[in-house]
Structure 1
């Protein structure tokens, strides 16, 4: 409990002072990075996207300005992104059999943590709000070879193919 509180206070202080967050390392890379991950050689950890039962049901609770929202759609077993008013498939149909349902009370709130701003009209568990900074994805060389047990909805940057890699529960899908 004390460790969680201390980490929360540290993240809050970093956010208030610079609006930039580094996870697993001391500082972010560059002035244009809002969220940065420890991308040491041999990294096999990526971002796990939230899983929704159906994007059409989720859409009712997502404001129209939530462009760039990424989710794993369990009804179609696909990773999707909300863009220009529609959901775009980022993967083939995979499998959601490994997904563990989170029944915690915090999932009922549509406003989670905001990084980069004090407020946001966007709704989500983690909202990165900035007009001049971006997220640097976790970087993994050949995730299809090096991530032993990927989780459905995992996302990273493949440093070998120089592309976005998303795991659909069955296979890795790549976007250049």
Structure 2
């Protein structure tokens, strides 16, 4: 009975805290009140979904980020802000070898994946973060050179004095975005 009570209490508390830390139980943000999803320091990044067909329609939400593999010889990291924007600065990469390792039946699903921050969401996606007052903290690294064997679609935040920026890898080249 004690285990059941403890489990129920942890389950209830998890809804109030509504934060997920991947990699450890500490994370990187000092103040957790506005964090929904966070990654620990591990010299690793988050890998975006590879899409062979760019999503469209009512389930598409602004803020969607993915690796556009509609042309596997010229893949680019893109985000949606009313229209698809290229984060790879026009630098395409050949990701056909990555796609060939996926089963031929691996076709993008239009159903929802995991939703964090809410029980439901009006949008479709692999990972959906639903919050009006919390955000995701990207995996932080000192330098992209510290990441061994980055995968196409990888995204990290470089947290180095004088060089703080978003970095995305399209399979061939890192592109950097300074705030």
TM-score by length of structure 1 reads 0.79
Q: Which has the larger radius of gyration?
A: 2
1:48: Cα distance to partner?
A: 0.3
8 Å CA contact retained: 1:14, 1:21:
no
Moved more, 165-174 or 94-103: 94-103
Q: Residue 168 of structure 1 aligns with which residue?
A: 170
8 Å CA contact 2:52, 2:108 repeated in 1? no
User: Where do residues 93-172 of structure 1 align in structure 2 (5 Å cutoff)?
Assistant: 93-96=92-95, 97-99=97-99, 100-101=101-102, 108=109, 110-143=111-144, 145-160=145-160, 161-172=163-174
CA contact (8 A) 1:67 1:82 kept: yes
Secondary structure, aligned partner of 1:98: helix
Answering whether residue 85 of structure 2 is matched by residue 88 of structure 1, we say yes
TM-score (norm 2): 0.78
What is residue 3 of structure 2 aligned with on the other side?
none
Q: 1:44 to 1:13 in 2, by over 3 A?
A: farther
Deviations 1:3-60 (A, max 9, x none): xxxxxxxx97675242111112224532000001112xxx2210000001132xx224
RMSD: 2.6
Between the two proteins, the alignment pairs up a number of residues equal to: 158
Question: Are the counterparts in 1 of residues 111 and 125 from structure 2 also a CA contact under 8 Å?
Answer: yes
User: Gaps (5+ residues) in structure 1?
Assistant: 1-10
Quick one: which of 56, 60, 64 aligns to 1:59? Answer: 56
User: What residue is the counterpart of 1:79 in the other structure?
Assistant: 77
Write the distance in 1 (CA, Å) between the matches of 2:13 and 2:21. Answer: 9
Corresponding residue for residue 36 of structure 2: 34
CA separation in 2, counterparts of 1:46 and 1:14? 28
